[in-house]
Structure 1
């Protein structure tokens, strides 16, 4: 549950990103919310990050990733469409004016189960290559989670680039529109949007250069649903 100020700030950031392609400055946020100082904006940003609605990217000034939106702002809790916003390379905003210690965000180590194709399917993934630290707020729902390194550009219009690491919650089911790890014929693994229509499964790319794959439902098994993304610069 968000407070009114938190919701107002999230809505303001979302609208500015949609309009301009870049987030507002902290001064613009302060003015929009009629606050006296930027320390109040820092506290609101921290609260939104702790609740999993946004993510700040380390070592990049004013870089904000919108992770999800509440229902009141058009979020549906369904398909994940990450968008990484870089506010430029200017000086980083100062730390919170409030000097009280802040508890470090809880992080978990997840196994990276090799690579997943966002393009032509590759062989099924079945072994751990290494581990990656993931913020606890990124992990949604019950069940086990794992990570995969993306190879290819078929999901680029959903904000998923070659080299990104996607965080996946293990599940054997998915809703239409979810981005899933799909296992085809027990041997090919791919990352695509999932749709079930009249006994068939459509695996849809987020890049017009790739055709939709339509397969009988008995040839496709959902291995997990995308819940987060990690990008290294």
Structure 2
């Protein structure tokens, strides 16, 4: 790769990946990147991608073939604003089993689906960890789109922050003097808290392509 991998080459690859994501709502595979770059070997495309990941322009989630995200640094490289009205910030992982600490560090951006009417600055995206919501089809590894709001109606699926500053995804119920967070998994019990902080209501689900 050597001297040929300069800023112009980085921009070219990042723009093609970004255009693919905007057109398809999911990232390209390494094989598709090699076609976009007109290189014969997929290993060459993989080398380009790994270099972009190392340099902080791309981020890869897990070992799936379609797991690339363009970082804020990468978006800046190609002249795209990280607060683009068509991009939803991706904020790491949230538990749908045992709660885990939520850290609002933006890890990347996801194209705003056409069928969602909310503006992107009212939304964020999280990756699910755990199986407590499998009864309604939210599985471990799925990604959810959440509308930012600090209140919810009984029965809505929420991202809630507990008194221990841990975030979890559950069905919300306000009952008398406590909050009940209900897992959609028959093997798990409800979580009872005197109070929680609602971070948002789940409005959509994205399941990354597995092949």
1:226 aligns with 2:192: no
Residues 179 and 135 from structure 1, CA distance in 2 versus in 1: closer, same or farther, beyond 3 angstroms? Answer: same
Deviations 1:174-226 (A, max 9, x none): 00000000000151000000000002100000001211001102xx1000000
Q: Which of 81, 88, 96 is equivalent to 1:110?
A: 88
* 3-state SS of paired residue (1:163): coil
- Measure, in 2, the Cα distance between the counterparts of 1:153 and 1:173: 24
Q: Which of 143, 166, 170 is equivalent to 1:192?
A: 170
Work out whether residues 140 and 227 of structure 1, in 8 Å CA contact, stay in contact via their aligned partners in 2.
no
Paired residue for 2:153? Answer: 175
Deviations 1:117-160 (A, max 9, x none): 00000002321111111313224489710000111110001110
Q: Which runs of 5+ in 1 are unaligned?
A: 1-56, 59-106
1:158 aligns with 2:164: no
1:131 aligns with 2:109: yes
Work out whether residues 145 and 205 of structure 2, in 8 Å CA contact, stay in contact via their aligned partners in 1.
yes
- Measure, in 1, the Cα distance between the counterparts of 2:111 and 2:141: 16
Paired residue for 1:206? Answer: 184
Shift in Å, 1:228: 0.5
* 3-state SS of paired residue (1:157): helix
- Measure, in 1, the Cα distance between the counterparts of 2:127 and 2:114: 19
TM-score normalised by L of structure 1: 0.51
Q: How many correspondences in the alignment? A: 128
- Measure, in 2, the Cα distance between the counterparts of 1:125 and 1:137: 28
TM-score normalised by L of structure 2: 0.56
Work out whether residues 116 and 125 of structure 1, in 8 Å CA contact, stay in contact via their aligned partners in 2.
no
Work out whether residues 93 and 102 of structure 2, in 8 Å CA contact, stay in contact via their aligned partners in 1.
no
Work out whether residues 183 and 222 of structure 1, in 8 Å CA contact, stay in contact via their aligned partners in 2.
yes
Q: Which runs of 5+ in 2 are unaligned?
A: 1-24, 27-84
* 3-state SS of paired residue (1:132): strand
- The 5 A counterparts of 1:1-150 are 108-140=86-118, 144-150=122-128
